[in-house]
Chains A and B, each alone.
Chain A
């Protein structure tokens, strides 16, 4: 018996590293892994083959494995798990890891590595994975000793889900997974340090409550932190909003934390946010940021952002506070605890009279910045906003629990503007990194997590081609996802910026030589549908929703449509472009703004 076998403490049951890995995953509650095999992870795939507790979903590209795991995590609140091989397997996963880092998604990515003796020798399929992923992850590990394998993997899960969640990579040399390894328990001291999170500072809560009780124009500005904090945080937010009567706006990542159809909800704020949300952000006298991070897509010109407000920022990650916008009160900690403390402190304080503020908001709301006119002549061209609205309305009629993923671009913004959410964890989008190709694999992850739910990828024709190979995964696992492509033959957001900022020179943004999406669907054993005119739209959506298998719906929409309102880069919230007829100079479209992204 080797030392490792003795250390295992399980007598005759000596496990190899791969088996220890799967045991730990099982103990961590892992049910599904998204992955792709290769030489360096063969021992792990062999161990997977010999067990039936953990399910493996075979994707068609490692980037897709990470996005699928992100959506799995986002839609369940659990840690998503990815398994990739060394070298190209790991480098292909990098985009997904950065995506998860930017959007605070808890992931554990297990990567194969060449045997420890070969590390540094430019071996076949060797890459410096921990070096490459260091800035792409919350933390990463290279397991060098069999004795540290189990505790490293346990710690990886703890790091991924504790504090501000994020992706963690564990690099696993092949000799570690092939050789015997002990199934050790975690070293407590280090994990306790990670877990340490005090409640919110009482004085900061008191100052916030004082400001809340005297504010004339208050606003809650909520973000993805509320979603990450769990459904209870969303519930507390709703209760606090009811008690105070304050309006609520949300970032892209926070959609669903507060019900979008609610009159107290002003819609999303920021670059393509609603008029009322942006004007309220600009005009409020108290801004309470809850689990949001003053992203540049939210703030626009920082020195003109919410210029006259007393600002409170509650975040679990202290590095986010005072990073971009200096605030008056900082509250460090889980936003759930902050909301609870505010709710308790507010107690039975009567709802203040904010009628002047609400009247002002109503006048901004009457501008109807998301408004559009759809010509209902059956042969009329479909406007993309109309397609999303009808999709929402008809999906709602089904009464099914609905999850929506998106790709990145105009369609993503139209989805955020026109699809309504009343529950958290239903909206899956790439916010921080803006990764085209996110939506299709994300739909895979959400459908795997929720087999009976309605899962829709609202897509653009350009983005969705970036991970179109996942139609193979969808076919293999018979995932009934609906891919709803707003096909305008352009990388629409690129085209829009070229129109507004680059003299309508549409450099390389036309989607030339597109596939026939209906035939493409059929080639992947899915059902293809197409709507070319508005008269066909409802029928296509209804058939898509009623079909029990995967559908690719090619919705041919107006080519030149722009996404409004728009705060051009470098402009302030009260300088929104509302539509195509507006003077662009007056709206803050400047040469300086052109320098920004």
Chain B
């Protein structure tokens, strides 16, 4: 039995109803599972389905348990372990506020450019950059900004989807 801790990105399709998110979050806290990040939004208005992406970690047995426990929730239609089931794209959006002037301000702008981060708010003394990418890329950006006047960070946590033509939850033909 391997005891190595692994990261896992799990997608959950869940009925968009009152308390649905609380069931998922309560399951994680009640059973002592980790949530590194969690995103949720309605993805199918017609079927009233939301998609939750959870970045979690644990031993393989714990990850297996997390998936099985999620599947037990009545409003959950499907659970997919993107980490296990093949390559996936995981993207996170961050808004990063830099308050600085002079040389540090110029350097911040230069680095932002190389990360393809876009200033979405600019004043004489501050920037808000919008940046998307893998969590690692955003971590790296934040580290570089730290000495350059990093003031505030807001991150969404990752949204993820499998690569290639296969579809995780297929009720109707993909359009």
Is A317 within 8 A of B72, CB to CB? Answer: yes
Is A319 within 8 A of B74, CB to CB? Answer: no
Rounded to whole Å, the gap between the CB of B28 and the closest CB of chain A is 11
Does A179 have its Cβ within 8 Å of any Cβ on chain B?
Answer: no
Given contacts A142-B18, A326-B1, contact A134 B23 (CB under 8 A): yes
Given contacts A135-B26, A138-B74, A319-B72, contact A326 B19 (CB under 8 A): no
Does B155 have its Cβ within 8 Å of any Cβ on chain A?
Answer: no
Does A198 have its Cβ within 8 Å of any Cβ on chain B?
Answer: no
Within 8 A of B (CB), among A135-166: 135, 138-139, 142, 144, 159
B65 cross-chain contacts in A, Cβ below 8 A: 319, 322-323
The complex places the Cα of A326 from the Cα of B19 at a distance, in Å, of: 33
Does A184 have its Cβ within 8 Å of any Cβ on chain B?
Answer: no
Does A394 have its Cβ within 8 Å of any Cβ on chain B?
Answer: no
The complex places the Cα of A159 from the Cα of B75 at a distance, in Å, of: 11
Given contacts A134-B23, A139-B74, A142-B18, contact A318 B30 (CB under 8 A): no
Is A134 within 8 A of B19, CB to CB? Answer: yes
Does B140 have its Cβ within 8 Å of any Cβ on chain A?
Answer: no
Does B106 have its Cβ within 8 Å of any Cβ on chain A?
Answer: no
Rounded to whole Å, the gap between the CB of A255 and the closest CB of chain B is 26
The complex places the Cα of A135 from the Cα of B18 at a distance, in Å, of: 15
A322 cross-chain contacts in B, Cβ below 8 A: 61, 64-65
Nearest to B29 among chain A residues (CB) is A135
Nearest to A303 among chain B residues (CB) is B1
Is A134 within 8 A of B18, CB to CB? Answer: no
The proximity string for B residues 99-116 relative to A, scoring 1 for CB distances below 8 Å and 0 otherwise, is 000000000000000000
Given contacts A135-B26, A135-B30, A319-B65, contact A130 B74 (CB under 8 A): no
Is B71 within 8 A of A319, CB to CB? Answer: yes
A/B pair count, beta carbons within 8 Å: 35
Interface size on A, residues (CB 8 A): 18
Nearest to A332 among chain B residues (CB) is B68
Does B91 have its Cβ within 8 Å of any Cβ on chain A?
Answer: no
The proximity string for A residues 320-354 relative to B, scoring 1 for CB distances below 8 Å and 0 otherwise, is 01110010000000000000000000000000000
Is B26 within 8 A of A134, CB to CB? Answer: yes
A142 cross-chain contacts in B, Cβ below 8 A: 18-19
A135 cross-chain contacts in B, Cβ below 8 A: 26, 30
The complex places the Cα of A398 from the Cα of B40 at a distance, in Å, of: 62
Nearest to A134 among chain B residues (CB) is B26
Rounded to whole Å, the gap between the CB of B75 and the closest CB of chain A is 8
Rounded to whole Å, the gap between the CB of B108 and the closest CB of chain A is 44
A130 cross-chain contacts in B, Cβ below 8 A: 19
18 pairs, A vs B, C-beta closer than 8 Å: A130-B19, A131-B22, A134-B22, A134-B23, A135-B26, A139-B73, A139-B74, A142-B18, A159-B74, A318-B68, A319-B65, A319-B68, A319-B72, A322-B61, A322-B64, A323-B65, A323-B68, A326-B61
- Supplied contacts A322-B65, A323-B68, 18 more A-B pairs, CB within 8 Å: A131-B22, A134-B22, A134-B23, A135-B26, A135-B30, A138-B74, A139-B73, A142-B18, A142-B19, A144-B18, A194-B74, A318-B68, A319-B65, A319-B68, A321-B68, A322-B61, A323-B65, A326-B1
Q: Considering the complex of A and B, which 8 residue pairs feature the smallest CB-CB distances, nearest first? A: A319-B68, A139-B74, A319-B69, A318-B68, A135-B30, A319-B72, A135-B26, A134-B26
